[in-house]
């Protein structure tokens, strides 16, 4: 048995959730915030059999799209002088962790 943590952009979370549920996976959703852009994410917690891990990852990957976004950045030009300019960064996609489970009980 495996436990999967999948961190997905809020923009993609409803599609990911719908497809996982449609494929009969039990899913718990947590609202989370990323540390880099401080933007909203959804963290999915999914318990599944070993042989279904690849199917879960495929569903998440298919419905979690990477995109670029302009974010403000600042640069220092000497003492006390700062300027702000936009920087293009890649956002979206998914970060997935898969862990072994020694014991599982549903009470």
Number of domains in the chain: 1
- Residue 33: burial class (beta carbons within 10 Å; 0-12, 13-18, 19+): exposed
Whose CA is closest to 65, among 5, 27, 21, 8? 8
pLDDT digits (tens, 9 = 90+) for 4-61: 999 998 889 999 999 999 999 999 999 998 766 567 799 999 999 999 999 999 999 9
Whole-number Å distance between alpha carbons of 67 and 90: 6
pLDDT digits (tens, 9 = 90+) for 53-85: 999 999 999 999 877 766 666 555 556 556 667
Q: 8 — phi, psi (to 5°)?
A: -130, 145
Establish if 56 belongs to a structural domain: yes
Establish if 15 belongs to a structural domain: yes
Whole-number Å distance between alpha carbons of 44 and 27: 6
**Residue 19: CATH number of its domain:** 3.30.70.120
Residue whose entry in the numeric block shows the structure tokens 């403000």: 72
Establish if 13 belongs to a structural domain: yes
């Amino acid at each position: 048995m495996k436990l999967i943590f999948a961190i997905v952009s809020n923009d993609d979370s409803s599609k990911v959730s719908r497809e996982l549920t449609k494929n009969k996976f039990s899913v718990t959703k947590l609202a989370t915030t990323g540390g880099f852009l401080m933007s909203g994410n959804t963290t999915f917690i999914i318990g599944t059999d070993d042989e279904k891990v690849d199917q879960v990852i495929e569903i998440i990957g298919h419905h979690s799209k990477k995109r670029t976004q302009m974010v403000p950045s600042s640069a220092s030009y000497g003492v006390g002088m700062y300027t702000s300019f936009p920087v293009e960064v890649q956002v979206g996609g998914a970060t997935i962790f898969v862990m072994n489970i020694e014991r599982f009980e549903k009470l």
